[in-house]
Structure 1
Amino acid sequence: MKAFEANFDGLVGPTHNYAGLSFGNVASEKSQASVSNPRLAAKQGLAKMKALHDRGFVQGVLAPQERPDVHTLRRLGFSGSDAQVLHHAARQAPRILEACCSASSMWTANAATVSPSADALDGRVHFTPANLTNKFHRSIEHATTGRILAATFPGDRHFKHHPALPGIEHFGDEGAANHTRFCGHYGEPGVGFFVYGRHAFDLSQPRPGRFPARQTLEASQAIARAHRLDSARVVFAQQNPAVIDAGVFHNDVIAVGNRNLLLCHEQAYLEQARVKRDLQRAFDGEPLHIVEVSSAQLSVSEAVGSYLFNSQLLSLDDDHMLMVVPEECRENPRVWSLLQAILAEDNPISEIEVFDLKQSMSNGGGPACLRLRVVLNEAELAATNPATLMSDALFARLNRWIDTHYRDRLAPKDLADPQLLYESRTALSELTEILALGPIYPFQRQGG
């Protein structure tokens, strides 16, 4: 049965703002307190989805979270009406309020880890929402994420939905941003490549000293077990602690892979030569292209600044791939020259397409952050919620929805405005109807 790699991008939420909440994410910290444009951010992401759909790729949409998250604020002791909760939080704990207004669910590479049915022993597509324990503003996402995924990929005949791992640091899980799958063809058994930053139970092992290592080996191992993957076709690799300390908070900031190609920096992993051997061995004799970028070609700081590796690799056919990069890559002469050299080399990358994603990039998320890859065969694609799949009609309807409900300017002081909460809830109520998701948000489920 033919299989496809579908990309499900996150819609940017109405509270997109620059609060600088992500320690270790250089771009996020630099943009703190800047004025954002939620309408433009949503349209930039939507334009990328539509452009890839128009090129024939299977493209889906994942809904944003409910923000401000009044439910979480109430759990933290704030009380009264919704407006009073926001007022008290703004006065007593403004950073907590900022965290509860984050639109970070737009980066759906962190939504979950996904294993296709061709890799799982039970022949189903497996989803585990990421617990994202390292950052409070992201750790509150996974319950709603699980409901969104279950409404997008409904039923248990084709899909298996797992709960998030225990929400403690020992099992810190950042989702597909630290997971890549290699294969010959999408419908064939592949190799699960799990990248972690530290060992949780063995403190003698290397770890970064400046910035946190968000993914643990133990979390990656737990997901591989839960997804019923063949251990002979799973590779675990540790990120280089030095590059984490340079701002590489996820693997997808220093490497990108698709099918039979891995593009990475030469400093991406500890014992990188061994990692490459392990991948070749697990790939079972088929040719695996590994393109390494040297430090002489591009420093780690240049890679972080341009988000070269936070790109998408999309298969055009069996032998050629499209590389989707942010505008920042074209604006950097060294990076753009390197991309032309990669194009000229003997590897599957045959075309580069550039997108303006500056609203997302200013918060530390490029093209790869915005999408969750889901390999589906024809039966699984037919079982997917059709209202979430991009089309000309859906694109037009979502553009009108954004124009109707989104602000074009949002400053930090606006987060305490009760009107923003009411605007967001009105928008999300309509979105659940557009995408046929049902009552996925706390305010819908609790009658708020």
Structure 2
Amino acid sequence: MNAFEANFDGLVGPTHNYAGLSYGNVASTGNQNVASNPREAARQGLAKMKALHDLGFKQGVLAPHERPDVAALRQLGFSGGDGEVVAKAARQAPAILAACSSASPMWTANAATVSPAADTADGRVHFTPANLNNKFHRSIEHATTGRILRAMFPDERHFAHHPALPAQMHFGDEGAANHTRFCQEYDQPGVEFFVFGQAAFDTRYPRPAKFPARQTLEASEAIARLHGLSPERVVFAQQDPDTIDQGVFHNDVISVGNRNVLFHHQQSFVDQARVLGELSAKLAALGTEFVAVQVPEEAVSVEEAVKSYLFNSQLLSKPDGKLLIVVPEECHTTPRVWAYLQQLLQSGGPIDEVRVFDLKQSMRNGGGPACLRLRVALNQSELAAVNPAVMMSDALFATLNGWVDKHYRDRLSTEDLGDPRLLDECRTALDELTQILRLGSVYPFQLAV
């Protein structure tokens, strides 16, 4: 094979906690203030990465962020030494401290939108970090994310890095969680599929009544322009507002695609038949047959899809051309979802294997297998230009597990976020991690003069 879809999973950080910050994400708000286990969370994520690596898939690691974010707290008026800044925020504004201590950078599906070289005008892989403007606790991520991505994909001959879009609601961008690419082979031109929740400037588009629509049409269009994508190979679709109001805060909670296959719910998109028809026509123009696997509401309800994260799964292309679906344990324990998956495997369709992973620490915070990974299609020369230290191996797996055991707590509550020792623990761990992954200085505390 001359090209691959590599998955770069977010490594859960030392301050993994459940602050319930993400309004519209039912799992996140439902587990607010429950004590977390950062060590177990990191180990669960690493186990998934290693298992997929062992199956022959290209697997990398994306580093966590520094938390609490002292720079953000200083910007909001807290002063003194770094430990004093954290202590003051804990006393005076614990909700702000919780937001600045969010575990959300672990969900690297929101880190950026990525377009492979086969689709872009200049023949390079393009990255745009998501501004995540809809939530304060996520809006502080993109600067560090951009530095980490540049350290992972440093060769400008192969990789182009853009700054995040303007940090304003009209250009709200949630990254690859609302972006999918369809193709025959990863190094051949494909069709890039952008899903948005609302249009900021055009009031003709419907909007959800209860929960926010985080991605805008205008943001998706801007990224397509920045990446130099051909309009003939781009499709824009709107999420069904009713599904957003049922907890489908990103498209990757209601659909997932890979190669020429879209696995999706009956209630995924506005004017769904038209959307599927446009995808089919544009792929047909490239000589590729589009395959839509639609899950009917009568088989799996939207509520069950959100509860189990059936669609927040990974579709991985196997050497025989069939697809493996990676799902969380919650799919196995949700009876109708598991029954549907068994029928799917026996249907003779493109998905013929399922693997179940225990990701409870992530699921309780509102993210499943697909949330944890950023997909990057790479040819052989581009893969060779990736920072090799971030690619999963037996040695890296052992090293990172030892690093986690050394630095991570096995219990963390929201009250612990005000402990200045936690900041020191996080910085000590991340300083060591940047050496393991050969990232250089990417964190604010490393960049401070």
TM (norm. structure 2) is: 0.99
Map of 1:55 onto structure 2 = 55
- Give the distance between the partners of 2:165 and 2:11, measured in 1 at CA: 25
For the 8 Å contact 1:254–1:265, the answer to whether it is kept is yes
Deviation of 1:318 (Å): 4.8
Amino acid at match of 1:192: E
User: In angstroms, what is the RMSD of aligned CA positions?
Assistant: 0.8
Q: Distance in 2 between matches of 1:185 and 1:347?
A: 19
**Which residue does 1:207 correspond to in 2?**
207
Matched, 1:260 2:268: no
Amino acid at match of 1:264: H
Partner of 1:144 in structure 2?
Answer: 144
Matched, 1:21 2:21: yes
Q: Which residue of 2 aligns with 1:286?
A: 288
* Paired residues, number: 447
Per the TM alignment, residue 230 of structure 1 is displaced from its structure 2 partner at its CA by: 1.1
Which residue type is aligned with residue 29 of structure 1?
T
**2:179 paired residue number:** 179
Counterpart in the other structure of 2:10: 10
Q: Distance in 1 between matches of 2:230 and 2:368?
A: 31
CA offsets per residue over residues 44-98 of structure 1, 9 Å max, x none?
Answer: 0000000000010000000001101111100110001112111111111111100
- Distance apart, 1:155 and its partner CA: 2.1
Describe how 1:319-334 pairs up with structure 2 within 5 A.
319-334=321-336
The corresponding residue for 1:158 is 158
Unaligned runs of 5+ in 2: none
The residue aligned with 2:349 is: 347
AA aligned to 1:278 is: E
Question: Separation in 2 of the partners of 1:169 and 1:406?
Answer: 36
**1:292, distance to aligned residue in structure 2 (A):** 0.7
Structure 1 residues without counterparts, runs of 5 or longer: none
- CA–CA distance in 1 between the matches of 2:271 and 2:323? 28
CA distance in 1, matches of 2:396, 2:59: 11
Q: How does 1:175-254 map to 2 (within 5 A)?
A: 175-254=175-254
Question: Residue deviations 1:2-40, cap 9 Å, x none?
Answer: 110000000000000000000000000000000000000
SS, match of residue 205 in structure 1: coil
Aligned identity (percent) is 69
**Whole-Å Cα distance in 2 between the matches of residues 236 and 163 of structure 1?**
22
**Alignment-derived partner of residue 297 in structure 2:** 295
**1:364 corresponds to:** 366
For residue 89 of structure 1, give the secondary structure of its aligned residue in structure 2: helix
In 1, Cα distance between equivalents of 2:70 and 2:411: 22
Contact 1:4–1:58, Cα closer than 8 Å, also in 2: yes
What TM-score comes out, normalization by structure 1 length?
0.99
The residue aligned with 2:39 is 39
Are 2:432 and 1:434 aligned?
A: no
Distance in 2, Cα, partners of 1:159 & 1:84: 40
Task: Give the distance between the partners of 1:406 and 1:293, measured in 2 at CA.
Answer: 40
Between the aligned partners of 1:202 and 1:187, the Cα distance in structure 2 is 35
Q: Which deviations, in whole Å up to 9, do the C-alpha atoms of 1:204-227 show, x marking residues without a partner? A: 320101000000000000000100
Contact 1:289–1:347, Cα closer than 8 Å, also in 2: no
> Per the alignment, in what secondary structure is the counterpart of residue 262 of structure 2?
strand
Structure 1 residues 378-421: Cα deviation after superposition (integer angstroms, max 9, x where no partner)? 00000000000000000000000000000000011100000000
Give the counterpart letter for 1:186 in structure 2: Y
Superposition misfits of 4+ residues, deviation over 2 angstroms: none
